[in-house]
Structure 1
């Protein structure tokens, strides 16, 4: 297996691993307010999340920052809960206007940094063992993450389309139900943390 395959597949598995579903939960709540025609905005958000994730890995691998894994593992479900609650609040308002993509983009970038820190200690060990060049593996890993995220986003958008077009579920109800579901999954993750 080539180095590219190794790190690209590691990025894919990082997102698509059933045991590491926090990444998928974040992508779900990030995507549910959008439909297929909003694909440019969704792609922008997903890419910004990958950029944030990659920046935190770069800073960690090159020794610029060190993180307390327990604190980061506590913060990750909080970012998911904040996004879910934001969706619920926006969808619940009768005069809900579309949010500024700039605000959501900045928040998504910041949340990507937090999520990347959660994987940084493990990734630092893998890169130090397997490579003299640290930047290329990081970029290959990021490409794997981006690919997996696009797959998840497409699944969410397709499910949204099917439910709204064929089963006449309103967009508002779709956002509320999915965001409430994700919030219900992450609250026990938060309250079960040692920090809580």
Structure 2
């Protein structure tokens, strides 16, 4: 039992932190764009709101209580990243230490978490196969995902600590994150729309 839990913890962690499936890394990075390390606690809660929401659709889709086209979900995921980058860009004002984390940000993270959960479910359903007892594997997988997301968040925020203001101004650091994250998300969206044709 413990070995099975450890296995699904690792699988959840590796799935979120996998560079081959970098869409999840991009989303967490997009959430973090307007914030500094000083704001890490509230930002961690924001990421956890995303986790709680994707846990809901991960469970219902894995249990086959809801069925959605995987092709549509795979296209929606980079779209959520692009919208998050745009919202982060809008809330990043020059000279502002960090943007407030408003109710709308929590609602946005939760709504997009529902979409990402549907994406995770395809992967998890393939892993579970015909296993009868899936409650503990689901829980362990979600905990692994959350650890992975918090690690990504820590890396992004610490990169800001190292680079700002020694190498880049706060504004330029935001621009770099918006450009890289938004550009990769647009590329991913184009690839997935082309593959769906």
TM-score of the pair, normalised by structure 2: 0.89
Determine the C-alpha separation between the residues in 1 that align with 2:147 and 2:101: 26
Residue 46 (1) aligns with residue 47 (2)? yes
Residues 52-79 of structure 1 deviation map (CA, whole Å, 9 limit, x = unaligned): 1211111112222111000000000000
Residue 163 (1) aligns with residue 163 (2)? yes
Determine the C-alpha separation between the residues in 1 that align with 2:101 and 2:52: 20
Determine the C-alpha separation between the residues in 2 that align with 1:189 and 1:151: 23
Residue 186 (1) aligns with residue 185 (2)? yes
SS at match of 1:80: helix
Q: How many residues align?
A: 194
Q: How far did residue 188 of structure 1 move? A: 1.9
Are the equivalent residues in 1 in contact too, given 2:54–2:116 (CA < 8 A)? Answer: yes
Residue of structure 2 equivalent to 1:117: 118
Q: How far did residue 94 of structure 1 move? A: 8.4
Q: Kindly report structure 1 stretches of 4+ aligned residues shifted beyond 4 Å.
A: 92-97
Are the equivalent residues in 2 in contact too, given 1:90–1:96 (CA < 8 A)? Answer: no
Are the equivalent residues in 1 in contact too, given 2:31–2:84 (CA < 8 A)? Answer: yes
TM-score of the pair, normalised by structure 1: 0.90
Are the equivalent residues in 1 in contact too, given 2:35–2:98 (CA < 8 A)? Answer: no
Q: How far did residue 15 of structure 1 move? A: 0.9
CA change 1:97–1:38 in 2 (3 A) is closer
Matches within 5 A, 1:5-20: 5-20=6-21
Which structure 2 segments of 5+ residues have no match?
Answer: none
Residue of structure 2 equivalent to 1:133: 133
Larger CA deviation: 85-94 vs 115-124: 85-94
Determine the C-alpha separation between the residues in 1 that align with 2:42 and 2:190: 33
Residue of structure 1 equivalent to 2:66: 65
Residue of structure 2 equivalent to 1:143: 143
Determine the C-alpha separation between the residues in 2 that align with 1:44 and 1:94: 24
Are the equivalent residues in 1 in contact too, given 2:42–2:101 (CA < 8 A)? Answer: no
Are the equivalent residues in 1 in contact too, given 2:34–2:91 (CA < 8 A)? Answer: no
Q: How far did residue 96 of structure 1 move? A: 10
SS at match of 2:144: helix
Determine the C-alpha separation between the residues in 1 that align with 2:177 and 2:128: 36
Larger CA deviation: 7-16 vs 118-127: 118-127
Are the equivalent residues in 2 in contact too, given 1:32–1:160 (CA < 8 A)? Answer: no
Q: State the superposition RMSD in angstroms.
A: 2.2
Q: How far did residue 51 of structure 1 move? A: 1.0
